[in-house]
């Protein structure tokens, strides 16, 4: 299995400030034939199912605010929220879908400072 490791486990950021979450995979999730990273980011608010924010490591899902951005390639990835809003309080997960099982990171809990 590809192991996905997120850092930090929890994060407290002031409203309007930047939040950065990291995700590292135990092997590359870059498929060289199409130059795509098979990496997604999800947001899970309390009591809700996860919601897809980013796919292909950096493509925002339709309707996702542009303060959310994804970057990285190969084994190292980052989710950035440029200006934290109150509704961004949630747990964030990365997931690789390069090979099954499509493993998730352990999650990063984002709170308001």
Residue choice 11, 28, 61, 67 for contact with other proteins (CB under 8 A): 61
Residue choice 38, 68, 77, 92 for contact with other proteins (CB under 8 A): 38
Provide the β-strand partners of residue 108: 92
- Closer by beta carbon to other proteins, 9 or else 76: 9
By the rule CB under 8 A, 89 interacts with other proteins: no
**H-helix segments, 12-56:** none
Q: Which of 68, 95, 73 lies closest to 104 in space, CA to CA? A: 95
69's tokens: 């951005």
Stretch that binds other proteins, among 11-19, 43-51, 63-71, 73-81 (CB under 8 A): 43-51
**Sequence-separated (6 or more) residues with CB below 8 Å from residue 35:** none
- Shortest distance (Å) from residue 50 CB to other proteins: 6
């Amino acid at each position: 299995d590809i192991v996905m490791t997120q850092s930090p486990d929890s994060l407290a950021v002031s409203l309007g400030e930047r939040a950065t979450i990291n995700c590292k995979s135990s092997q590359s999730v870059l498929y060289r034939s199409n130059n795509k990273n098979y990496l997604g980011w999800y947001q899970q608010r309390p009591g809700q199912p996860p919601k897809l924010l980013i796919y292909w490591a950096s493509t925002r899902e339709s309707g996702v605010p542009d303060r959310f951005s994804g970057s990285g390639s190969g084994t190292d990835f980052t989710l950035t929220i440029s200006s934290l809003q109150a509704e961004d309080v949630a747990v964030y997960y990365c997931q690789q879908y390069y090979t099954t099982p499509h493993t998730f990171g352990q999650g990063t809990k984002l709170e308001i400072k």
